[in-house]
Structure 1
């Protein structure tokens, strides 16, 4: 049972206002993060705007997931600042932050065998007691349909395959309906069809006015769906811009320590990245 203090806190949360297209949804300025003795991020500047998809790419250990966690205000920086919805992330209470950004971690772990629909409905928790609470059923249904998990709504989450769990976790994020989505490797466990599905969802959310920041290992997906790509290397952003501009063979070969060829798709012109292999 919630106490009077809990009820008061719920009702006095500041709800997010509509975000103008092109305005900053999340900003990192001079962001540095240390984990133990290791400098993981070093003076990173990055802004994601309402209406765009920003892909974070780079080799293992480059700092992609750390940057995403810092943008989510789940990881405190050693120096620098993160601003969400125009304010320092630390100025928002946890409930207010949950109304403004949703986060998909690399792996979804639940200790109890909740039905899939209940897991998705967890994404609506930040709106409890607000004027938008009556959107819960519609938000859950739409998120499950978008991620193609409606048919196993009653199955326990623990009984799903890895790819099915990943889609349910994404549905939870979609149901949250926050104007900033932060996704960490959402396609890692998915087959070809569902990788494309997830990135189409990212584009749809951007078209609806949300900002999407997504960590991707597949450079082809980043090139096809992102408005801008940030190529991370040793804790810094080596290049930031449209994929067709920043995805050069020289840069990617240096960052990944693997020679690559980059050439335009014959129909769309989207960059295709292929490793150089020995015959």
Structure 2
């Protein structure tokens, strides 16, 4: 647990002032609990015998009128205590959930800084779960329990101190009974709880991945008659989570049952012993104090064991988030785009797929100049898209170098990303209006952008906007046809006015007329940028100023000629 808490500090250790404030409230709340316990003992003593002896303060005797005043003071203290607890809880949950929201935002920003290949390698389902669920698990199962555990410890210490001052022998006996019991129970269940945490963490990731894959392939699964197989696989994973969750609840209940049973035996034994000795009235204040302690300390003790288990159970989630610690605060630190490059140079570039060891590109030498419109042609799987990823800076070559005006792309970093606009093979759209999908401006001011109207008119998207009548394009653009989705992607890239435009089969979903229109549009302003188009269309390749053929891991320049590519 100590290691988990240390890792927690690495994730949430910033903004120390807010945590100091919370710590002060924890101490204040615990002090109010101790004061309340002392007042309960004093009130019961005064009711039983009219006198009360308090350590360090002496013996007090009161009359009926004074007793009423004292009782009113006790009520007032409990009201203040309740207000303190409400304030403490309000600040606690606001700070912890706020810290979780900040961590989720930073984590998503960090994922946005990853190259596309790395995003694909890690899997969308897992990254979404990290941002959406895992961080919240860390907050609810680790951060909150850790702070609550601190409050429980201080509350227990304060009340036990009052008990020890008023009834040292009974407190010592209770401590000798409860401390070993709770230690034994906690030690007994710690390892099973950790194993359950690992099972739940792995199974939740598998569950989300299974559901995502199943829904993405819903049509093909149904046509193949495999619906029952996929739903059964998902059900097996969810049942595994249910079994682990049920076992966790059973384990959480063991400390409570053990403590309650021992408490009843202790109180009955203590009262029985006092009755046999003939001083039952004298132990009434002590029993009252122990009753209050049972009301406040016992739940704290049981909760403390549960909180320790919760922290242990959340250790895998903490490790998952901490594995991406290097990405935190990485998002949003990019620099603005510099001037458009005059030349991009590739020297001896080689690319190998790490997972398979297959060489996709090798010894590629290529120079691209501002004003070039370069068609990249070749058979499927030859490495055309890989070459585009290298030019975009999304994939670092295993060998050789890529530079822009003599500066390596890895040195340019975010500055280079700001220079590149891309039309990908697979277009992803926001569930928003067409204009927002073009600008990716979430402020709602896309319609005021003068460049948008120009791009919409040039790509032919106005009929689509008129048809939707202000409605969104639907989840991932389900309200649009394949060609319309592609037009939005082209408009998005052209709106950027970037120094490098990369079109990776960006016209594949368009008809012949639309492809010709896009080719003409791409040619507009070509003198101000470097344009690269991956295409299987020989007619489109003929309109380009240069053609690069990729085949067998090699890339070389050829003359623009008609014919199959």
- Normalising by structure 1, we get a TM-score of 0.73
Alignment match, 2:461? 149
Structure with more strand by fraction:
1
Does structure 1 retain, via aligned residues, the 8 Å contact 2:501–2:531?
A: yes
SS of 2:522 mapped into structure 1: helix
Deviation at 1:116, TM superposition (A): 1.1
Question: Which residue does 1:233 correspond to in 2?
Answer: 551
Aligned counterpart for 2:493 among listed residues 168, 173, 187: 173
Corresponding residue for residue 247 of structure 1: none
Could you tell me how far apart the structure 1 residues matched to 2:358 and 2:384 are?
15
What SS is found at the alignment partner of 2:449? Answer: helix
CA distance in 2, matches of 1:202, 1:86: 26
How far apart are 1:103 and its partner, in Å? 1.5
Determine if contact 2:373/2:533 at 8 Å carries over to the other structure: yes
Look up the match of 2:451: 139
| Aligned counterpart, 2:533 | 214
SS at match of 1:221: helix
- Given that 1:55 and 1:214 are in contact with CA atoms closer than 8 Å, whether structure 2 keeps it comes out as yes
Q: Deviation of residue 14 (structure 1)?
A: 4.7
CA contact under 8 A between 2:419 and 2:498: conserved in structure 1?
A: yes
Q: Which residue of 2 aligns with 1:242?
A: 559
CA contact (8 A) 2:340 2:419 kept: no
Aligned to 1:100: 419
Matches within 5 A, 1:2-21: 9=333, 13-17=335-339
Out of 260, 273, 278, the residue aligned to residue 563 of structure 2 is 273
Counting only pairs closer than 5 Å after superposition, residues 23-172 of structure 1 correspond to structure 2 as 23-24=342-343, 26-35=344-353, 36-94=356-414, 96-110=415-429, 112-122=430-440, 137-153=449-465, 154=470, 155-156=472-473, 157-172=477-492
Q: Which has the larger radius of gyration?
A: 2
Distance 1:101 1:84, change over 3 A: farther
Structure 1, residues 216-254: CA drift from partner, whole Å, max 9, x if none?
A: 10122101x1111011111102x41431xxxxxxxxxxx
> In structure 2, the residue corresponding to 1:159 is in which secondary structure?
coil
5+ long unaligned stretches in structure 2: 1-101, 107-328
Q: Evaluate the alpha carbon distance shift between residue 40 and residue 139 of structure 1 in structure 2; reply closer, same or farther with a 3 A threshold.
A: same
Match of 2:514 in 1: 194
Alpha-carbon shift at residue 274 of structure 1 (Å): 6.3
Q: What TM-score comes out, normalization by structure 2 length?
A: 0.37
Q: Does structure 1 retain, via aligned residues, the 8 Å contact 2:389–2:395?
A: yes
Query: Secondary structure of 1:170's partner?
Result: helix
Gaps of 5+ in 1: 244-270
Q: Distance in 1 between matches of 2:366 and 2:404?
A: 12
For residues 399 and 340 of structure 2, the distance between their equivalents in structure 1, rounded to whole angstroms, comes to 30
Shift of 1:114: 1.7
Aligned-partner Cα distance in 2 for 1:32–1:158? 38
In 2, are the aligned partners of 1:205 and 1:212 still within 8 Å (CA)?
no
Q: Following the alignment from structure 2 to structure 1, what is the Cα–Cα distance between the partners of residues 372 and 499?
A: 11
Alpha-carbon RMSD across the aligned residues, in angstroms, is: 3.0
Partner of 2:208: none
Give 1:9 deviation, angstroms. 4.7
- CA separation of 1:272/1:241 partners in 2, compared to 1, >3 Å: closer, same or farther? closer
Q: Tell me which protein shows more helix as a share of its residues.
A: 2
Deviation sequence 1:186-210 (CA, Å, 0-9, x none)? 1111101111011112211314x21
- Contact kept? 1:49, 1:211, Cα under 8 Å: yes
Contact 1:61–1:234 (8 Å) recurs in 2: no
Whole-Å separation in 1 of the counterparts to 2:505 and 2:564 = 20
Superposed displacement of residue 17, structure 1: 2.3
| Structure-2 change in CA distance of 1:15 and 1:70 (3 Å) | closer
Runs of 4+ in 1 over 6 A off after TM superposition: none
| Inter-partner Cα distance in structure 2 for 1:60 and 1:272 | 18
The aligned length equals 229
